[in-house]
Structure 1
Amino acid sequence: MNQLLAKIIATAAATTTLSVAIAQQAQAISFNFSWQGDGGYSAQGMFGYDETTAPAIIAESGAGATNDLQFLMVSFFDSANNPLQSFNTVVNGVSESPFFAFNFDTSTQTLFGAFDVGGGTGVIGEQFFGGTIGGLLTLNQDVNQVDQFIELDRQDPGVITVTEKVPEPSSILGLLALGMSGVGSLVKKKESGNENGFN
């Protein structure tokens, strides 16, 4: 009986821990974004922030600690959809790119204005994507980290599609169901053992 009680307590503790994790996930919100250039090159990425503390407009620029954005990653692809380069532009609320620019309206869930993500950390050959949303957006490759770059693709007027990334709680709920079914089978096993004269 003590073993059964210990397993029920352990399952209850795990359920509580997972419930806290679900509550914390509800505070973080993340979005996917995508862009397609006129020549077939593309950019795909994801960003996120804490929706409980974020202002109506998230505006970020330059290197260093961000105001609200927790992470931003982006990958670039050629016209045959082959991966080119990927960058973690913002990691744990810190941008390493002095060229970083990001403006997001949290109520309409749209990007606007200046936008610059990707390279910008001083490595020759790295790619970067930016410009003005609604104006010219270009995907470029750096030549000398000063003033020379190769334009790989462009779009004018530039449009970046943003979609909310919906969390998938099914895996967490599945773990909870599995844990509870385990407790149920233990109880049934214990009851059948008692019926057969076992303790």
Structure 2
Amino acid sequence: MRVLELAKRRKTIRQFLPDRPPKEEVMKAIKAAKEAPSGMNAQPWKFVVVDDDWLKAKIREVCEREEEKFYSKTKGDLMAWLNAKGFKPEKPFLSEVPYLILVFGHTKAPYWLQSTWIAVGYLLLALEELGLGTVTYTPPNPKPVEELLNAPKDYKLQTILPVGYPADPKPKYERKKLEDVVSFNGF
């Protein structure tokens, strides 16, 4: 089962090699993502590919500003987890990676949120199959990025996928056992 192999292999990548993958590979992954099912076949997703260094730096700048606000308000278990994993407001992968794929959802479409995230799932597996790495980075406040890219008001940024050849040595986080996440005929 090829999909299972890809899913088992796929992990979050935050460090990338400087080599630039061919743009055709990125487009091939998006071509797979656009085949995802959607409510009423509305296909409510929009993929914005950014390869301009100035724009990537600007996106990083506005995201890090929002991350600073987020970190200043976050407490408890989430903050302890972020600290334990070494996360900080700085997101160098947003400007150091060859490509950013920003995934937007059209909020006026039926089931837009679920449909858009199914497409993201397709995209993640397609990138993995092509040997490309990414992380689903969701800014704490997507509004400044939406404004920067002049997104129409009915489109909401869901995630930013930095895309490139992986250079992240960290192993994949352990997954729960199948019997821990499945039950039949009731919870």
Specify the TM-score bucket, using the shorter chain as the normaliser: under 0.3
Larger Rg: 1
Considering fraction of residues, name the structure with more strand: 1
Considering fraction of residues, name the structure with more helix: 2
Question: TM-score by structure 2 length?
Answer: 0.23
Question: TM-score by structure 1 length?
Answer: 0.22
